[in-house]
Structures are given as structure tokens and as C-alpha cells.
């Protein structure tokens, strides 16, 4: 009789980074990534299709048939990191930065140790137009199934000198 391999369970994360409050900044974007223990693995992998779309086979549209296969994601997979669009503050009383940035990823593991956390970083331009971090934070993915609304406390870097404060815009 064949020995059974270790059993695994799946954790599907499905949601969005909705908005943020950064009163002193505008025109910000966010990046997210997941951190997790060594027994965890995302199931999202780029897969190669063997057939090109008909337009690509004729040399039309985007892409190049001579480059080979077109990568795609299957419906049960997602991305474990991403970057949003730049958003400006809303015109209502909240003055929120609204991204509505979708997240969809599936993890597998043999045990709950090292449960995934989402790490969120927010970036914006300084006085010279360079992207600088405006805040960062992390929160565990919820442990129970269902709908959850999580608020991530953001750590905001602070300049130590007046020159740094001027050049970084903080």
C-alpha cells in the first residue's frame, strides 16, 4: 500500500485595498506583498499556453508570435504582490485616497505556523519628483472564513533633520 503524502490545506485571499488617510500627502500609490512561513507556498505561477490567439498567429495585435508562448494566469491562481495606480484625494469631507485595488491569491500549507501577512507600502513624490515611502504596515490575513474589514496602522517615516525634512517633503 502506498504511503499517503502530507495533507495540505488551501487559504484563498480575495479582497481589495480600499483606501487610506494621509492628510499631509496627495498623489500616492500603494504596493502590497505577502510574507509567510517556510511551510507556506502561493499556488500562483505563470503558466505557458501552447496556442497563440488567432490574431497573434497572423501577426496582428499586441505581442509577437515569434517570441513563443503567451503567459497567462489560470482562474484558480492569483498574484502575491502588486502595485496600484496613483490616486488623488477625494473631494468629499474625508479627503481619502481611494484605490479599490483588488487582491486575489491562494496559498497552500501543511500547518498554520507562519500564517500569511499582507505588507502594504504607500509611496508618493517628494519635492524633486522622486518616489519616497510615505507609510508602511502589515496585518495577518484573517484566520476565519467570511467577510472581514481590516485596518492597517501605517508607520510613517519622519525626517531627523530640517534639511532631510525639506528634501523629502516629510
On whether the CB atoms of residues 44 and 36 are closer than 8 A, the answer is no
Q: Which domain holds residue 27?
A: 9-41+80-168
Pick out the chain residues at pLDDT < 70: 1-3, 44-78, 164-170
On whether the CB atoms of residues 82 and 31 are closer than 8 A, the answer is yes
Round to whole Å and give the CA distance between 34 and 11: 13
Tell me what pLDDT residue 79 has.
72
Tell me what pLDDT residue 151 has.
95
**One domain, residues 24 and 92:** yes
Q: What is the pLDDT of residues 81-124, one digit of tens each?
A: 999 999 999 888 889 999 999 999 999 999 999 999 999 999 99
Phi, psi of 164 (to 5 degrees): -60, -40
Tell me what pLDDT residue 161 has.
76
Q: Is residue 21 part of a domain?
A: yes
CATH of the domain at 22: 2.60.40.150
- Into how many domains does the chain fold? 2
Q: Is residue 3 part of a domain?
A: no
Question: Hey, is 14 helix, strand or coil?
Answer: strand
Tell me what pLDDT residue 166 has.
64
Tell me what pLDDT residue 165 has.
64
Round to whole Å and give the CA distance between 29 and 84: 6
**One domain, residues 156 and 107:** yes
Q: Is residue 2 part of a domain?
A: no
The answer to whether the predicted template modeling score (pTM) of the entire model surpasses 0.95 is no
Amino acid at each position: 500500500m502506498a504511503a499517503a503524502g502530507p495533507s495540505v490545506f488551501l487559504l484563498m485571499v480575495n479582497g481589495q485595498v480600499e483606501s487610506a488617510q494621509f492628510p499631509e500627502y496627495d498623489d500616492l500609490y500603494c504596493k502590497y506583498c505577502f510574507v509567510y512561513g517556510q511551510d507556506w507556498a502561493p499556488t500562483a505561477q505563470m503558466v505557458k499556453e501552447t496556442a497563440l490567439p488567432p490574431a497573434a498567429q497572423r501577426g496582428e495585435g499586441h505581442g509577437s508570435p515569434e517570441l513563443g508562448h503567451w503567459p497567462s494566469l489560470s482562474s484558480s491562481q492569483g498574484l502575491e504582490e502588486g502595485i496600484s495606480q496613483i490616486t488623488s484625494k477625494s473631494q468629499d469631507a474625508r479627503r481619502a485616497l481611494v484605490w479599490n485595488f483588488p487582491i486575489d491569491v491562494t496559498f497552500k500549507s501543511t500547518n498554520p505556523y507562519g500564517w500569511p501577512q499582507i505588507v502594504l507600502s504607500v509611496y508618493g513624490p517628494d519635492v524633486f519628483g522622486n518616489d519616497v515611502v510615505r507609510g508602511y504596515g502589515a496585518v495577518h490575513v484573517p484566520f476565519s472564513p467570511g467577510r472581514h474589514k481590516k485596518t492597517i496602522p501605517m508607520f510613517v517615516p519622519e525626517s531627523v533633520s530640517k534639511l532631510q525634512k525639506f528634501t523629502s517633503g516629510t
